[in-house]
Amino acid sequence: MDANAGTDVFDRILSASGPLVALKAGDTTLLLEQFRLVARRTGQAVYLWRHAEGLVSLRDAQMRVPGCLRLGDALRYILQSLHFGVYLLDMPPGAPSATDGALLRQLSRAQTGHVRRVVLIGASPSLLATFENDVVLVDADWQARSAAPRLRDGRWVV
């Protein structure tokens, strides 16, 4: 994966038309490491939720959000947040509980005055189908994407 791939994928997540994003990626470990670098370099609030770890800041590796060990608690925290944030959720296999599904649907329709993106990593196709048009798909697979040039900081990049 290209060194700028993480920045490009992160930019596409931020420019998504809705708050709920499904990320399709082959190697999520490398991509998450690049997101960690983006968070540290830019100082933006980027969090990662995993089943055994809870909600953790990617910018400050030691900072865990208290009371967010379970997915439902993390989703409630995200709903109540009044600040900019990108929340990466490493979805556990299988269907989420009815409560977690309802919270995700609520997040997918939430309108806020600030940018808030909830990124589902490894979400099953059946889960994504429940959101209909409320989820934006972002493909992080660089081999599958065409190299269309785009303007970045006044210069064209491929």
Residue 158 belongs to some domain of the structure: no
Nearest to 60 by CA among 78, 40, 77: 40
Question: For residue 144, what pLDDT band results from cuts at 50, 70 and 90?
Answer: very low
Residue 118 belongs to some domain of the structure: yes
Residues 28-49: what's their mean pLDDT?
A: 90
pLDDT of residue 139: 86
pLDDT digits (tens, 9 = 90+) for 54-105: 999 999 877 899 999 999 999 999 999 888 899 999 998 888 888 998 999 8
Residue 110 belongs to some domain of the structure: yes
Residue type, 26: G
Dihedral Cα 35, 15, 139, 81, nearest 10 deg: 60
Q: Cα–Cα–Cα angle for 151, 155, 9, nearest 5°? A: 45
- Under 8 Å CB-to-CB from 76, ≥6 apart: which residues? 103
What is the number of domains present in the chain?
A: 1
Any idea which residue has 């979400």 for tokens?
A: 123
pLDDT digits (tens, 9 = 90+) for 120-133: 998 888 888 888 78
Residue 140 has pLDDT above 50, yes or no: yes
Q: Which CATH number does the domain housing residue 43 bear?
A: 3.40.50.300
Structural domain span for residue 103: 5-142
Residue 93 belongs to some domain of the structure: yes
Tokens coding 145: 């994407």
Higher pLDDT, 42 or 156: 42
